[in-house]
Amino acid sequence: MRVAIVSDTMSAYGGAERVIEQMMQVFPQSDLFTVLDAVPKGERSFLENRTITSSFLQKLPYVDRYYRKLLHLWSLAIEQFDLTDYDVVISSHHSVANGVITRPFQCHVSYVHSPMRYAWDLQHEYLRESNLVRGPLSWYARRVLHQARLWDFAAAQRPDALAANSHFVAERIRKFYGRPATVLHPPVDLQAFPLNRERRGGYYVTASRLVPYKRVSLIAQAFARMPDRRLKIIGAGPDLAQVRSIATPNIEVLGWQPAEALVDLVSNAEGFIFGGVEDFGISLVEAQAAGTPVIAYAEGGALETVNDLGTSMPTGLLFEEQSPDAICAAIDLFEEQRGAFQPAFCRQNAERFAQQVFRDRFRGFVQQAYEERRGRAARSGDLGFGRPRIVSSGAAI
The 3-state secondary structure of the chain reads: CCEEEEECCECCCCHHHHHHHHHHHHCCCCEEEECCECCCHHHCHHHCCCCEEECHHHHCCCHHHCHHHHHHHHHHHHCCCCCCCCCEEEEEECCCHHHCCCCCCCEEEEEECCCCHHHCCCHHHHHHHCCCCCCHHHHHHHHHHHHHHHHHHHHHCCCCEEEECCHHHHHHHHHHHCCCCEECCCCECHHHCCCCCCCCCCCEEEECCCCHHHCHHHHHHHHHCCCCCCEEEECCCCCHHHHHHHCCCCEEEEECCCHHHHHHHHHCCCEEEECCCCCCCHHHHHHHHCCCCEEEECCCCHHHHCCCECECCCCEEEECCCCHHHHHHHHHHHHHCHHHCCHHHHHHHHHHHEHHHHHHHHHHHHHHHHHHHHHHHHHCCCCCCCCCCECCCCCEC
Q: Name the pLDDT band for 396 (thresholds 50, 70, 90).
A: very low
The tens digit of pLDDT for each residue in 216-249 reads 999 999 999 999 999 999 998 888 999 999 999 9
For residue 393, pLDDT over 50 is answered with no
pLDDT, the chain, mean? 91
Neighbours of 338 (CB within 10 A): 12
Helices 282-289 and 343-350: angle between axes, nearest 10 degrees:
130
- Asked whether residue 391 carries a pLDDT value surpassing 50, the answer given is no
Rounded Cα distance between 325 and 338, Å, is: 20
Length of the chain: 397
Q: How far apart are alpha carbons 254 and 185 in whole angstroms? A: 30
Q: What is the pLDDT of residue 381?
A: 67
| Neighbouring residues of 51: CB distance < 8 A, sequence distance ≥ 6 | 31, 32
Task: Report the C-alpha gap between 33 and 355 in whole angstroms.
Answer: 22
Span 103-161, pLDDT tens digits: 988 999 999 999 988 888 888 888 887 888 899 989 988 998 999 999 999 999 999 99
Q: Provide the β-strand partners of residue 25.
A: none
Q: Distance of alpha carbon 115 from its chain centroid, rounded?
A: 11
Asked if residue 386 has pLDDT above 80, the reply is no
What's the first-to-final CA gap in the chain, in angstroms? 20
Query: Residue 56's pLDDT is what?
Result: 96
Q: Which residues pair with 124 in a beta bridge?
A: none
Fill in the amino acid letter for 301: G
Q: Write down the pLDDT at residue 384.
A: 55
Residue 313, pLDDT above cutoff 80: yes
User: Which residues share a beta bridge with 163?
Assistant: 111, 182
- Helix pair angle (71-78, 136-156), 10° resolution: 20
What is the pTM assigned to this prediction?
0.88
Mean pLDDT of 240-268: 94
Q: Residue 167 and residue 292: Cα distance in Å, rounded?
A: 24
Largest alpha-carbon pair distance within the chain? 82
The answer to whether residue 389 scores a pLDDT higher than 70 is no
Q: Which amino acid is at 58?
A: Q
Dump pLDDT digits (tens) for 332-363.
999 999 999 999 999 999 999 999 999 999 99
List of residues 6+ apart from 288 with CB closer than 8 A: 294, 305, 306, 315, 316, 346, 347, 349, 350
Contact (CB, 8 A) for 179 and 120 = no
Per-residue model confidence (pLDDT) at position 34: 96
Going from the C-alpha of 90 to that of each of 4, 32, 39, 146, 301, the distances in angstroms are: 6, 10, 20, 27, 23
